[in-house]
Amino acid sequence: MTLTKRAPHQILFFMTLLWAGSPAHADSSPGSGAMPRPQPGPDWRVSVREFARQHFRHPAWGYSHSARIHALALELAAEDGVDLDQDVMFAAAFLHDVAAFPPWADPKLDHADEAARIVEGLLAGTGFPMEQIEEVGSAIRTHMYDRDPVGPEARYLHDADALDWLGSIGAARILSLVDANGGPPDGPAAIAMLEANLARVPPRVLTPAGRSRVDARRAELQSFIDSLRRQTDDLRNL
């Protein structure tokens, strides 16, 4: 299988369509037709976290992915001695994939660009400090590994998201996409996706702390692929 430069975006588009038709997620779009959004409360972070937990359900880029890269971004920045705006980082991490899910997803649009466009409307009135909304949108817009982030929050979100395509978690995320009924992606296609990530993601990790983790995660993922190929000659039926 030949993958284009934006392979993860293509995977995201495919799985967004699949998830939109999933009965488990079909009730996420309210009957009134109004877009759901985080609700005002004493702590906007609690509202945003609960919003993500309720609406972002997917084995590869759901709530746990958002929570994981938020924690990793903070860890990387602390290791580099970089101060991040905690409000910007939290909002960007938990909402960066919102446009991968119905009812916000639009298959004609890039999910990062669309999420950056709608995030102001999602956060308005929640208590988020709206003078920081431009930085949130910028971080979301450039979170994919093949984009060029500007500003500390954008860089550390970008690198945390990139690292999540590597290592054991990267393998688990891609293999979770394999269709048990034999449809795309099948086993060989998933392995091709992992190999594409091995080649394309590591050079795009930009921060010192992020780069310090690349070799270990790359080796871990490569070892998994090598072991898998040694242990089965039937990748179509993993």
Residue 224, in any domain of the structure? yes
User: Would you state the pLDDT for residue 9?
Assistant: 42
User: Would you state the pLDDT for residue 235?
Assistant: 67
Is there a contact between 38 and 48 (Cβ–Cβ < 8 Å)?
yes
User: Would you state the pLDDT for residue 12?
Assistant: 42
Residue 25, in any domain of the structure? no
Q: Give the CATH number for residue 108.
A: 1.10.3210.10
Is there a contact between 161 and 143 (Cβ–Cβ < 8 Å)?
yes
Is there a contact between 67 and 45 (Cβ–Cβ < 8 Å)?
no
Output phi, psi for 105, to 5 deg: -70, 140
Domain total in the chain: 1
Is there a contact between 195 and 142 (Cβ–Cβ < 8 Å)?
no
Residue 30, in any domain of the structure? no
Residue 31, in any domain of the structure? no
User: Would you state the pLDDT for residue 27?
Assistant: 36
Choose among 154, 132, 145: nearest CA to 202.
Answer: 145
Parent domain of 149: 7-17+39-237
Residue 81, in any domain of the structure? yes
Torsion angle of the four alpha carbons 83, 87, 89, 92, in this order, in degrees rounded to the nearest 10: -160
Point out the residues of the chain with pLDDT beneath 50: 1-32
User: Would you state the pLDDT for residue 68?
Assistant: 98
User: Would you state the pLDDT for residue 236?
Assistant: 62
pTM recorded for the entire structure: 0.84
Residue 75, in any domain of the structure? yes
pLDDT tens per residue, range 90-123: 999 999 999 999 999 999 999 999 999 999 999 9
Residue 113, in any domain of the structure? yes
Query: First and final CA of the chain: distance in angstroms?
Result: 17
User: Would you state the pLDDT for residue 234?
Assistant: 67
Residue 49, in any domain of the structure? yes
User: Would you state the pLDDT for residue 237?
Assistant: 63
